[in-house]
């Protein structure tokens, strides 16, 4: 299957249209179900439908249908951020450091053909084409919060499957303790990799048990379509309990290692960006507080800030991964 993306513009819904009448009605129906005690199975499917209902546009990217996720914590009933905001307010320094730069510049990224080398301390190293990766497992609809270290957040309907599906297929050796993710760094298609903002290529990493957690998502799309270039096309990682920069985009290599990877932001400013980078409101960034956040699409810079949740609200699912650790030391 060959995935292509459109290069023309979109006619997106405005941020003010983020909760249309049909979505509101769906939530009202859900409240009725909750009152009768039969909402359990309905909540997940309704959340996914609501996510799809919140965007209407003429120009679309190629469809990437998903199935309802059965992973605990993979769906939320929070209002989903508008497609317009998700695709126009991005961190992707390979295309510029301003939040609007990726949407303006990422059209140069060529996503077909694409392959990802999976190597290192595994029994079955291989080069996977994008088509190979898509065939490994059915894609699931998941609605995850995304929290960025700068103090803003979104709620995004991703499409993908648990990274563990790929990890188990390549059969890591017992000596493999970490997984490293490498983003493409092509100056011909990613113009800002010639800058000295970071040490390219962009590298991120997870501990093996973090990578195996079912919430860690190998991601190919959002809002039921393939990923837009500015959001990490054609394949990225999403780790919802960590700050957004931990979720490497436009991956070309996944490497299994016995050593903690030297990650991009940790190399750039180790006192500000630790290896773990779990969302922790009790650990401030040296230059600002992490106690509150601003949800994109809720009134701009003057919106009322909301309290930041431990592990971005996924403490029940992932807190045990860090039992006994000093989260101020391993930040």
In a domain, 4, yes or no: no
Report the pLDDT value the prediction gives residue 25, as an integer from 0 to 100: 35
Q: Could you tell me if 287 and 151 are in contact, meaning their C-beta atoms sit under 8 angstroms apart?
A: no
Report the pLDDT value the prediction gives residue 125, as an integer from 0 to 100: 98
Q: How far apart are CA 75 and CA 57, in angstroms?
A: 24
In a domain, 96, yes or no: yes
- Give pTM, 2 decimals: 0.83
In a domain, 216, yes or no: yes
Confidence of residue 303 (pLDDT cuts 50, 70, 90): confident
Residue 42 phi, psi (nearest 5): -75, -30
Report the pLDDT value the prediction gives residue 50, as an integer from 0 to 100: 42
In a domain, 43, yes or no: no
In a domain, 200, yes or no: yes
In a domain, 13, yes or no: no
Q: What is the pLDDT of residues 108-141, one digit of tens each?
A: 999 999 999 999 999 999 999 999 999 999 999 9
In a domain, 18, yes or no: no
What is the domain range of residue 284? 63-322
Q: How far apart are CA 186 and CA 42, in angstroms?
A: 45
Q: How far apart are CA 81 and CA 101, in angstroms?
A: 19
- CATH no. for residue 312? 3.90.420.10
Q: Are strands 217-222 and 225-226 parallel, antiparallel or unpaired?
A: antiparallel
Opening angle at CA 273, ends 269 and 275, nearest 5: 115
In a domain, 203, yes or no: yes
Find residue 159's DSSP bridge partners.
141, 221
Residue 250 phi, psi (nearest 5): 40, 60
- How many domains does the chain contain in total? 1
Report the pLDDT value the prediction gives residue 170, as an integer from 0 to 100: 98
């Amino acid at each position: 299957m060959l995935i292509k993306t459109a290069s023309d513009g979109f006619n997106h819904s405005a941020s003010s249209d983020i909760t249309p009448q049909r979505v509101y009605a769906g939530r009202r129906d859900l409240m009725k179900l909750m009152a009768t005690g039969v909402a359990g199975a309905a909540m997940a499917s309704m959340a996914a439908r609501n996510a799809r209902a919140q965007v209407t546009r003429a120009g679309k990217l190629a469809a990437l249908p998903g199935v309802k996720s059965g992973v605990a914590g993979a769906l939320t009933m929070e209002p989903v951020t508008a497609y317009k905001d998700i695709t126009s307010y991005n961190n992707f320094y390979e295309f510029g450091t301003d939040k609007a730069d990726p949407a303006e510049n990422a059209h140069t990224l060529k996503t077909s053909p694409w392959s990802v080398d999976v190597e290192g301390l595994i029994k079955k190293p291989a080069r996977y084409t994008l088509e190979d990766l898509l065939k490994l497992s059915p894609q699931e609809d998941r609605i995850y919060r995304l929290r960025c270290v700068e103090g803003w957040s979104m709620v995004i309907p991703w499409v993908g499957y648990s990274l563990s599906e790929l990890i188990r297929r390549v059969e890591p050796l017992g000596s493999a303790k970490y997984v490293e993710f490498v983003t493409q760094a092509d100056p011909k298609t990613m113009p800002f990799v010639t800058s000295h903002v970071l040490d390219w290529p962009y590298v991120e990493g997870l501990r093996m048990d973090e990578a195996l957690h079912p919430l860690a998502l190998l991601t190919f799309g959002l809002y039921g379509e393939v990923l837009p270039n500015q959001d990490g096309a054609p394949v990225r990682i999403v780790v919802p309990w960590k700050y957004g920069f931990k979720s490497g985009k436009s991956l070309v290599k996944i490497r299994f290692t016995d050593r903690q990877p030297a990650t991009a932001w940790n190399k750039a400013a180790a006192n500000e960006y630790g290896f773990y980078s779990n969302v922790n409101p009790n650990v401030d960034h040296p230059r600002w507080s992490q106690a509150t956040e601003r949800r994109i699409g809720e009134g701009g810079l003057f919106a009322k800030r909301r309290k930041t949740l431990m592990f971005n609200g996924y403490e029940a699912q992932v807190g045990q991964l860090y039992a006994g650790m000093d989260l101020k030391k391993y930040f």
